[in-house]
């Protein structure tokens, strides 16, 4: 699943000074000085491990002094002297947090793990002390009570701060505030443990193949990557190593003829972090209990109610109702897909029933038979550099921006590429964009976007423009071929770039509303709508080139891709919707003791009527979206919620033309530039002309609506 980490994440390899252990000289701490770099890109080659904690403490002290100044102001509270002053506070804190949280995601190390154990609690404590500051909240409330006199974006920012403070304990008694602080500190440490276990468990698992006949069916690129992985581990020629990282795992499940090899990989993945040294099951139970206590303390019936109260959905029930409208048609399609696969397996003489570890393999066989489409051949037209040219071409045609590489710009890893983003017509600087696309042992799985610096309007009416980045875990180049992407990787690249555009093109006046600072169930609209361009013939003709010959992708192959676009959509939709429904059921729990997590998952699957050939997209011990932070907890549904928006929105592009200037202008001005400065439904309606319905999503996925049924009960997990 494509993911985004919000609001703070980035990636940093500490280069020359990274391992330095000498005592920090505060005068040389790069976080405590202005960045003397192009467009204020962090000076990565000057950042050492020893700089993080001193800069964090200095940043906390700076922001506390700024808050003290706001509170001590004798003037009547106004938007400018209270809300805007708070929104602009914490410059040093933000600088160090952006880089540190980045490194923790994409280039972890033993040193960073040690720092993290102190960094996260300090950061959480500073957040708690700010949001539980009675005098500060009193001023915020004074502005909030008179918010109707403010401009639209000012009113919304005021409302956002008021809600943020109340949701973080501003209205609690002193005793309850201390309890909330303790719960927040506990959760912060639990998330750290969950993520550390997941990374270690992922890296601990591998399959070594020594018999080349077991590699039958695998693309040459996958075999080459496995050989290189073996060589990196010091194994002699004739060994092939497969890991749980997606570029290794997914091709094996999709193409390997060896059923036992597929089973090994599938079971390795679905049992990830479920036992042994890196067991996340006890961590999950502690998280669930702490979340339930936190929700109750803040006046909510459960954690799901707490999380959905602050987004477009408003309630768990609304989110669940949407999902069930998608789940039931998806399951009906799954049964049809499995019947096709079983018939094909039987025709080949198989003497088994399709199992979950057969799904990818036989789905690919059915696709090849029905559409004469071999994805291994398709990948030859999707070299990573070609796809990157495609996303840049799309952005220039839609929004008038150009990307020029900055080879001498600071970067945190040698595989990172940095671009100066400019207005194609005027040459004006718009943003810095960085890409970091290949897996490594120190990088967490998945793909995401965030920033090293946000966008905002300065007091002198000049713009401070953002530094945005995309991180991925795409197929690596091999000794004799460039990185050739799967269709899923192509869509992921367009997806994360859509998030990037949301950050790069922001014109919201205030930092707290810029770019992706929007409701969680609106943030996926810009990312998911841009996935649609990836396989549009008009754009494919420009960027999809054979990596050897340079020839454009043939029209007949494009036609096959279009025809196969809804192939296996039952599986992909049910897998996603099932995980989202599992997440919502966790949000309904109020456990006082431990639950049996495996039994809980089983109960949810039974109530859903999940087909036996499926499992949840993420089993709980590696469901990082919901247990690695609060980010998507009771909010994994937002990918499908946003797809309702993006499919409806893209239908306007299809009607007017996928590069229609007026439609692109409306989307840019009403969605990409506005950030969180207005109500998200208002922004969508201003762009589209009406509120969305689930029908466009079902049409796009080739699914048929089904009649509604009773809502899902909340399983106990006992």
Quote the DSSP letter at residue 26: G
Residue 626 inside a domain? The answer is yes
Residue 61 inside a domain? The answer is yes
CATH number of the CATH domain containing 78 = 1.10.1370.40
Q: Is the domain of 40 the same as that of 187?
A: yes
Task: Please name which of 702, 705, 577 lies closest in space to residue 647, comparing C-alpha atoms.
Answer: 702
Residue 610 inside a domain? The answer is yes
Task: Please name which of 41, 53, 51, 56 lies closest in space to residue 16, comparing C-alpha atoms.
Answer: 51
Range of the domain at 403: 379-563
Average pLDDT of 367-371?
A: 92
> pLDDT grade, residue 104 (50/70/90)?
confident
> pLDDT grade, residue 8 (50/70/90)?
very low
Q: How far is the CA of 544 from the CAs of 53, 355, 500, in angstroms? A: 46, 35, 22
- In this structure, are strands 417-423 and 429-436 parallel, antiparallel, or unpaired? antiparallel
Which pLDDT belongs to residue 25? 58
Q: Which of 177, 199, 221 is the last residue of a domain?
A: 199
- In this structure, are strands 467-471 and 448-453 parallel, antiparallel, or unpaired? antiparallel
Query: Which of 188-197, 470-479, 705-714 is predicted least confidently?
Result: 705-714
What secondary structure does DSSP assign to 582-650, as a single string? HHHHHHT---SS---HHHHHHHHHHHHT--TT---SS-GGG-HHHHSSSTTTTTTTHHHHHHHHHHHHH
Q: What are phi and psi of 421, to 5 degrees?
A: -100, 125
> pLDDT grade, residue 478 (50/70/90)?
confident
Which pLDDT belongs to residue 310? 84
Mean pLDDT of the chain: 92
Q: Tell me the pLDDT tens digit for each residue of 508-542.
A: 999 999 999 998 889 999 999 999 999 999 999 99
Q: Which of 504, 534, 563 is the last residue of a domain?
A: 563
Q: Is the domain of 192 the same as that of 222?
A: no
Is the per-residue pLDDT at 334 higher than 60? Answer: yes
Q: Is the domain of 340 the same as that of 430?
A: no
Is-contact 433 38, C-beta < 8 A?
A: no
**Residue in this structure with the two tokens 């995980």, named with its chain if needed:** 579
Q: Tell me the pLDDT tens digit for each residue of 65-101.
A: 999 999 999 999 999 999 999 999 999 999 999 999 9
Q: Is the domain of 32 the same as that of 115?
A: yes
Residue 117 inside a domain? The answer is yes
Q: Tell me the pLDDT tens digit for each residue of 199-244.
A: 999 999 999 999 999 999 999 989 999 999 999 999 999 999 999 9
Residue 289 inside a domain? The answer is no
Q: Residue 314: CA atoms inside 13 Å, Cβ hemisphere, count?
A: 3
Is-contact 434 448, C-beta < 8 A?
A: no
Q: Is the domain of 261 the same as that of 331?
A: no
Is the per-residue pLDDT at 179 higher than 90? Answer: yes
Q: Is the domain of 399 the same as that of 353?
A: no
What secondary structure does DSSP assign to 644-673, as a single string? HHHHHHHHHHHHH-TT-HHHHHHHIIIIIT
Q: Is the domain of 323 the same as that of 417?
A: no
The predicted model scores a pTM of 0.85
Q: Tell me the pLDDT tens digit for each residue of 398-447.
A: 999 999 999 999 999 999 999 999 999 999 999 999 999 999 988 888 89
The C-alpha angle with vertex 565 and arms to 562 and 566, in degrees rounded to 5, equals 140
- In this structure, are strands 401-405 and 417-423 parallel, antiparallel, or unpaired? antiparallel
Q: Is the domain of 524 the same as that of 399?
A: yes
Residue 716 inside a domain? The answer is no
- Bridge partners of residue 383, in order along the sequence: 484
Q: Tell me the pLDDT tens digit for each residue of 538-581.
A: 999 999 999 999 999 999 999 999 999 999 999 999 999 999 99
> pLDDT grade, residue 18 (50/70/90)?
very low
- Residue 665 has a CB neighbour count (10 Å cut-off) of 14
What secondary structure does DSSP assign to 403-464, as a single string? EEE-TTS--SSTT-EEEEEEETTT--EEEEEEEE-S--TTS-SS-EEEEEE--EE-TTS-EE
Residue 678 inside a domain? The answer is no
**Catalytic residue among 496, 531, 575, 673, which?**
496
For residue 336, indicate whether it is catalytic. no
What is the total count of domains within the chain? 4
Which pLDDT belongs to residue 5? 32
> pLDDT grade, residue 30 (50/70/90)?
very high
Distance CA 394, CA 400 (A): 9
Q: Which of 563, 584, 617 is the last residue of a domain?
A: 563
Q: Is the domain of 519 the same as that of 420?
A: yes
Residue 465 inside a domain? The answer is yes
Q: Is the domain of 50 the same as that of 146?
A: yes
Q: Is the domain of 53 the same as that of 127?
A: yes
Task: Please name which of 570, 616, 575 lies closest in space to residue 597, comparing C-alpha atoms.
Answer: 616
**Residue in this structure with the two tokens 């051949």, named with its chain if needed:** 377
Q: Is the domain of 318 the same as that of 428?
A: no
- In this structure, are strands 467-471 and 429-436 parallel, antiparallel, or unpaired? parallel
Q: Helix, strand, or coil here: 545?
A: strand
């Amino acid at each position: 699943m494509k993911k985004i980490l919000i609001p703070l994440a980035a990636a940093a390899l500490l280069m020359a000074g990274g391992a330095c252990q000498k005592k920090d000289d505060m005068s040389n701490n790069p976080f405590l000085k202005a960045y003397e770099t192009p467009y204020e890109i962090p000076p990565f080659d000057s950042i050492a491990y020893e700089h993080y904690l001193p800069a964090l403490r200095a940043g906390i002290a700076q922001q506390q002094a700024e808050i003290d100044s706001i509170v001590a102001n004798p003037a009547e509270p106004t938007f400018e002297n209270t809300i805007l002053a708070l929104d602009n506070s914490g410059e040093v804190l933000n600088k160090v947090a952006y880089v540190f949280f980045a490194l923790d995601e994409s280039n972890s190390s033993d040193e960073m793990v040690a720092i993290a154990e102190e960094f996260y609690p300090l950061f959480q404590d500073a957040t708690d002390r700010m949001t539980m500051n009675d005098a500060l909240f009193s001023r915020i409330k004074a502005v909030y009570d008179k918010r109707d006199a403010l401009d639209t974006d000012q009113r919304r920012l005021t409302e956002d701060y008021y809600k943020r403070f109340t949701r973080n304990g501003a209205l609690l008694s002193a005793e309850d505030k201390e309890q909330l602080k303790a719960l927040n500190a506990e959760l912060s440490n639990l998330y750290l443990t969950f993520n550390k276990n997941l990374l270690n468990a992922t890296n601990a698992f591998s399959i070594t193949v020594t018999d080349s006949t077991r590699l039958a069916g695998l693309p040459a690129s996958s075999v080459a990557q496995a050989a290189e992985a073996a060589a990196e581990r010091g194994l002699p020629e004739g060994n092939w190593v497969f890991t749980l990282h997606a570029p290794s795992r997914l091709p094996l499940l999709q193409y390997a003829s060896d059923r036992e090899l597929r089973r090994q990989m599938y079971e390795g993945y679905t049992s990830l972090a479920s036992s042994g040294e890196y067991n996340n099951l006890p961590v999950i139970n502690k998280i669930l209990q702490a979340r339930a206590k936190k929700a109750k303390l803040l006046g909510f019936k459960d954690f799901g109610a707490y999380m959905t109260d602050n987004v477009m959905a408003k309630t768990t029930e609304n989110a669940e109702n949407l999902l069930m409208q998608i789940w039931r048609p998806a399951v009906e399609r799954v049964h049809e897909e499995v019947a096709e696969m079983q018939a094909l397996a039987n025709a080949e003489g198989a003497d088994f029933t399709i199992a979950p570890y057969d799904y990818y393999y036989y789905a690919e066989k059915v696709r090849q038979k029905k559409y004469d489409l071999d994805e291994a051949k398709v990948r030859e037209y999707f070299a990573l550099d070609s796809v990157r040219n495609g996303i840049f071409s799309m952005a220039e045609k839609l929004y008038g921006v150009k990307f020029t590489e900055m080879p001498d710009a600071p970067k945190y890893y040698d595989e990172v590429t940095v671009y100066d983003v400019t207005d194609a017509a005027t040459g004006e600087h718009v943003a810095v964009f960085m890409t970091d696309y290949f897996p490594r042992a120190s990088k967490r799985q998945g793909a995401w976007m965030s920033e090293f610096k946000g966008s905002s309007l300065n007091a002198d009416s000049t713009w401070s423009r953002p530094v945005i980045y995309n991180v991925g875990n795409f197929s690596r180049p091999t000794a004799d071929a460039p990185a050739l992407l799967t269709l899923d990787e192509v869509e992921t690249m367009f997806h994360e770039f859509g998030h990037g555009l949301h950050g790069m093109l922001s014109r919201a006046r205030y930092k707290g509303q810029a770019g992706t600072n929007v409701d969680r169930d609106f943030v996926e609209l810009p990312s998911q709508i841009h996935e649609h361009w990836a396989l549009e013939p008009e754009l494919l003709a420009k960027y999809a080139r054979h990596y050897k010959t340079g020839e454009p992708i043939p029209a007949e192959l494009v036609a096959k891709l279009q025809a196969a676009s809804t192939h296996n959509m039952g599986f992909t939709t049910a897998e996603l919707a099932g995980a989202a429904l599992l997440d919502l059921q966790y949000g309904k729990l109020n456990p006082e003791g431990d639950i049996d997590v495996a039994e809980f998952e089983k109960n949810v699957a039974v109530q859903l009527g999940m087909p036996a050939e499926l499992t949840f997209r993420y089993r709980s011990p590696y469901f990082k979206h919901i247990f690695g932070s609060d980010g998507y907890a009771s909010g994994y549904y937002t990918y499908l919620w946003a797809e309702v928006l993006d499919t409806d929105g893209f239908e306007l592009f299809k009607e007017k033309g996928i590069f229609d200037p007026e439609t692109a202008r409306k989307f840019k001005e009403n969605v990409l530039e506005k950030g969180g400065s207005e109500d998200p439904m208002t922004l969508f309606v201003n762009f589209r002309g009406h509120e969305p319905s689930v029908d466009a999503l079902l049409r796009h996925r080739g699914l048929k609506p089904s009649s509604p049924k009773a809502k899902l009960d909340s399983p106990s997990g006992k």
